[in-house]
Every structure is written in C-alpha cells, then in structure tokens.
C-alpha cells in the first residue's frame, strides 16, 4: 500500500519524489492509521485496532525517529526566542518555523499544543 501511495503521488506531481516528499507520504499514511485506530477503539473493534496498529508499526520503521516531547519543547522555545512572536497572532509563523526545523520528527498535534502553550 505504501508503494502505491508513493507511486500515486509521483503520478500527481508528474516527477519522482524527493526523500522528504516520500517521508511526507509515509507520515500522512501513519496519521491515517492513527486516526483509524482511534475510530475503531471507539467502535469497539479490537480486531481492526490490532490490524491497524500492526500496519502502523511497519510504517513507523520507515519514518525518522520521533523526538521526545521534552526535545520538541526545546525546539519550540528556541524558535520562539529567535522569532520573538507577538502572541497567538504569530502562531502560524512559529508553527512553520518549528515544522521546518524538526521535519517529521514529531507529530503536528504535539507541536501545535506546545506552540500554543509557549505563545500564551
């Protein structure tokens, strides 16, 4: 399925994907699996949860190692110190800088939460 997702993305972009773009496809697939796991847990479908978790573990082997939350917080604080944002209105600017700095090594949800905390 991953090869199919990558191939479809190459067809859409009409060129070979870079390593960063392939990682983006893998991260997107991992996010879909995490969302499915949550939905199946709410629906009481343990059989489907187990299948999705197994597939997610395989996908995660191809993704960059995830940073610990403390390391992500350090990266957020470094970007905040560098950019000196003026509160929540600069949320997008800080998010963009942090996402560029840690490229797929942390979930967007975690980064978003830490940026909101840093800006408040």
The pLDDT value recorded for residue 34 is 92
pLDDT tens-digit map of 31-49: 899 999 999 999 999 999 9
Residue ranges and CATH numbers for the domains of the chain are 2-62 (no CATH), 69-119 (1.10.10.410)
Return d(Cα 109, Cα 27) in angstroms, integer: 13
pLDDT tens-digit map of 50-69: 999 999 999 989 888 888 99
Give the position of tokens 């950019």.
83
Return d(Cα 22, Cα 28) in angstroms, integer: 10
Percent of the chain with pLDDT over 90: 41
């Amino acid at each position: 399925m991953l090869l199919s997702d990558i191939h479809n993305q190459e067809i859409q972009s009409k060129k070979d994907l870079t390593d960063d773009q392939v990682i983006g496809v893998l991260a997107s697939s991992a996010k879909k699996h995490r969302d499915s796991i949550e939905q199946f847990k709410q629906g009481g479908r343990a059989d489907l949860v187990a299948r999705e978790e197994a597939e997610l573990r395989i996908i995660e082997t191809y993704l960059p190692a995830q940073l610990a939350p403390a390391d992500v917080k350090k990266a957020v604080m470094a970007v905040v110190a560098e950019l000196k944002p003026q509160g929540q209105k600069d949320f997008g600017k800080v998010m963009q800088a942090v996402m560029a700095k840690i490229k797929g090594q942390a979930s967007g949800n975690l980064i978003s939460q830490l940026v909101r905390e840093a800006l408040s």
